[in-house]
Amino acid sequence: MMITRIFSDEKGESHFEDLDIPLIDQGEIGYLSENFEVKKLQFSFKPVKFLW
């Protein structure tokens, strides 16, 4: 999954960075990324056929 990271450097200047986040097939619940240390952040992709 491609995402754009937006951040500022030590000078306070804004930057953009494209990141490719790997997703892992978790079966019926879809594809999930690993957790990222922030508080918690997880990316998810659900196939169209997925029903809650």
- 15-33 per-position pLDDT tens digit: 999 999 999 999 988 999 9
Element at 47 (helix H, strand E): none
User: Is the CB of residue 23 less than 8 Å from the CB of residue 43?
Assistant: yes
How much is the pLDDT for 36? 82
pLDDT tens digits, 38-50 = 877 778 877 777 6
How much is the pLDDT for 50? 64
Q: What is the pTM for the complete model shown?
A: 0.56
- Residue among 49, 42, 45 at smallest CA distance from 25: 45
Whether 14 shows a pLDDT value over 90: the answer reads yes
How much is the pLDDT for 52? 62
